[in-house]
Chain A
Amino acid sequence: MTDAATPEPLLRVRGLTKHFPARGGRRRSGPVRAVDGLDFEVRAGETLGLVGESGCGKTTTGRLLVRLLEPTGGSIEFAGRDITHAGRRKLRPLRPDLQIIFQDPYASLNPRHTVGRIIAMPLQVNGITPAGGRKARVRELMELVGLNPEHYDRYPHEFSGGQRQRIGIARALAPGPRLVVADEPVSALDVSIQAQVVNLLRDLQRELGLAFVFIAHDLAVVRHFCQRVAVMYLGRIVEIGARDDIYERPRHPYTRALLSAVPEVTRSGPADRIRLTGDVPSALDPPSGCRFRTRCPKARDRCSVEEPALTRRDGADQAIACHYPEPEPGAVG
């Protein structure tokens, strides 16, 4: 699917699947199909946003990418190497390149370690001794993310939520990663603080040329951070493409409904909203055919029997998994 002219992607995901066994319960059921066949790529220095509602599999995807979870099927290639089932030893040389920022700035920092120790941990674990020593590097990182390096010996509880998220960011950046998976990095923060952290991540991404997989439910935040966006629904990608295509010219009915449901401060009321009924169905028992059909305003008979594949027109970048997508602007059919 990659254009021959573009360089080899940093991350290539093919048919990625994660099923969790469902135990207990009164009903006999199959596994929870949390992630069910994802294809996407991230090039070096590129930011890809994964958006969707709860249960769409975006967090599971993030955890699969950094190999905190073992995939059930498919493949993950990072920097040309297959890491789908790589064990601890095989992953070790790649760990510094592949880091994660967690959502909860309270739960993801060890309360008994000083900030200096927390940020130095990836250096220590990976046996990295930067020129000038680890302590100097940690102070540098603290400065980089807008923390006072004098606070090196303080503990997480002495910091506010926004500052803690900066600690998590400094820790992820410590080993000099090429790809950072950020799982809802700002959703636990107040709006004024959220903007500070989004700006910081953007500056760092540009300055250091990092690739990001940015996982969020907030479509407006993703729009401000990502060059490319993948919209997920019940374990599948329904639409993927360049940011402006997704936000200005969405072609999947779900993308359109999702965008129109976001309340914004505007003069016009919610007049043009596409209303979806009901909740997202269970991933234990996803609908047959297209998984979105039970809530889709455009669903027809074909949608319940045939699952639409994620396809793109020759030469196009935007890919859609829908039997009846919105027409491309300026294109016939």
Chain B
Amino acid sequence: MDPYLRVEDLRVSFNTTDGVVRAVDGLSFSVERGRTLGVVGESGSGKSVTSLAILGLHDPRRATVTGGITVGGRQLIGRPESEVRRLRGRDAAMIFQDPLSALHPYYPVGRQIAEAYRVHHRGAGRAETRRRVIELLDRVGIPQPGRRYDQYPHEFSGGMRQRVMIAMALVNDPDLLIADEPTTALDVTVQAQILELLADLQAESGTAIVLITHDLGVVSQVADEVLVMYAGRAVEQGTVEQVLLRPQHPYTWGLLSSVPSLRGDAEADLRPIPGNPPSLIDVPAGCAFHPRCRYAEHTAGRCGTELPELRAAGTAGHRVACHLRTEERARRYAEDVARVGVAR
């Protein structure tokens, strides 16, 4: 099947007084209908900038966006704003992290969702629109949707507000849903409800989902494929099983061994990645991760000079951007695990 979303060599940079910030620097991926791609990375890795680029939400006066973004067969970059606007909210919609700041405090939630509907359904009458919105509120699990239609955002709990955001994103039956940290602001028991809701809705309608998150556990539970980003580039890509259970990139190893777990030895130290993520104004030469990588010394200086390309590694479809040969990396990692007992 042809992927619904295709991103090719995406580059997004911002001119600032301190210099050019290369937030996304040559990123390619695709998502098929009915599939979920998890985009993982720490702050500054470029994951949110990517999501805004897909919806054409960067201000052209501030950001330079190049490369290709194809949604449902239509190329987006370089198109006039009026055309992008027709697609945004109808073919592709977004769920933001913080529903409280994404909803207008002065208007009842039903009216806000209705507005999103009428932008793309000019002829829709009042009664039809209201019916459609109430149907959506019901579908995302909001009790008494008819009454809730006329309530204001502050009258909803955090979990219910996020359901409102999801209803708003779905009101035009989009084929692509971009969820940027949709559960980060929520409690775990509510997070579990929202993730389940997204999965159910996807099973019903076959939406392609891009799920942006820093939480590897969330990705492991809901995504089909994973893209690990570091300093604006993809460092590892593959299925959830490949990337999270048989990771190949030293950065992915570092992320996984940093996360405390409910299982395993509670007394064992976590194994953090040393140092801090780089500044995007002054990204290290070669592999951006090399100053923090414990294996960089084994490539005779290549890691510090030459940018590693994403290449096939391990099983089919698994790709890694690392200069170390797969076997050597695996051997050195296995030695490390044996020495310090890193789980996973």
Contact = CB atoms under 8 A, between A and B. Distances in A.
A199 B273 CA distance: 12
B266 A53 contact: no
Interface residues of A, number: 44
A265 B263 CA distance: 10
A201 to B, nearest CB: 11
B157 A217 contact: no
A222 B187 CA distance: 16
A279 B159 contact: yes
B217 A263 contact: yes
A199 B188 contact: no
A195 B190 contact: no
Contacts of B258: 191-192, 194-195
Given A262-B188, A275-B193, A279-B190, A192 B254 contact: yes
Given A191-B258, A194-B258, A270 B192 contact: yes
Interface in A246-292: 247, 257-259, 261-267, 269-270, 273, 275-277, 279-280
Interface in B214-261: 214-218, 220-221, 244-245, 254-261
Contacts of B262: 219-220, 223, 247, 259, 262, 264
A319 B296 CA distance: 50
Nearest to B143: A278
A259 B277 CA distance: 31
A295 B215 CA distance: 26
B266 A224 contact: yes
A239 to B, nearest CB: 15
Given A219-B262, A224-B260, A279 B270 contact: no
Nearest to A52: B187
A191 B188 contact: no
Nearest to B43: A190
A265 B256 CA distance: 8
Contact of A199 (B220, B266, B272): B272
A276 B186 CA distance: 14
Given A258-B188, A279-B158, A192 B217 contact: no
A261 B192 contact: yes
Contacts of B216: 191, 265
A191 B192 contact: no
A199 B192 contact: no
B271 interface: yes
Nearest to B276: A160
Interface string A159-170: 010110000000
Contact of A192 (B190, B193, B244, B272): B272
Contacts of A192: 42, 254-255, 258, 272-273, 277
B144 interface: no
A243 interface: yes
B266 A217 contact: no
Contact of B189 (A53, A202, A247): A53
B71 to A, nearest CB: 29
A224 B256 CA distance: 15
Nearest to A282: B157
A193 interface: yes
A282 to B, nearest CB: 9
Given A195-B260, A220-B262, A266 B187 contact: no
A199 B258 CA distance: 10
B158 A54 contact: yes
Interface string B154-176: 00011110000000000000000
A261 B194 CA distance: 12
A196 interface: yes
B85 interface: no
A258 B188 CA distance: 7
Interface in A220-241: 220-221, 223-224
B298 interface: no
A190 B277 contact: yes
B202 interface: no
Contacts of B277: 190, 192
Contacts of B257: 195
B191 interface: yes
A264 B220 contact: yes
A293 to B, nearest CB: 15
B160 A279 contact: yes
Interface in A149-202: 160, 162-163, 190-196, 198-199, 202
A67 to B, nearest CB: 28
Contact of B260 (A223, A243, A276, A280): A223
A192 B45 CA distance: 13
A244 B157 CA distance: 33
Given A190-B214, A262-B217, A264-B217, A198 B260 contact: yes
B272 A220 contact: no
A65 B244 CA distance: 41
Nearest to A54: B187
B336 interface: no
A191 B221 contact: no
Contacts of B42: 190-193
B158 A220 contact: no
Contacts of B131: none
Nearest to B272: A195
B161 to A, nearest CB: 10
15 contacts: A162-B276, A190-B43, A192-B42, A192-B255, A192-B277, A193-B42, A220-B262, A223-B262, A261-B191, A263-B217, A264-B220, A265-B261, A267-B245, A270-B221, A276-B192
Given A259-B262, A273-B192, 14 more contacts: A53-B188, A190-B43, A191-B255, A192-B254, A195-B257, A195-B259, A195-B272, A219-B188, A219-B262, A264-B263, A265-B259, A265-B261, A279-B159, A279-B160
Q: Which 6 A-B pairs have the closest CB atoms?
A: A263-B217, A195-B272, A53-B187, A195-B258, A195-B270, A192-B273
Interface of A: 53-54, 160, 162-163, 190-196, 198-199, 202, 217-221, 223-224, 243-244, 247, 257-259, 261-267, 269-270, 273, 275-277, 279-280, 295
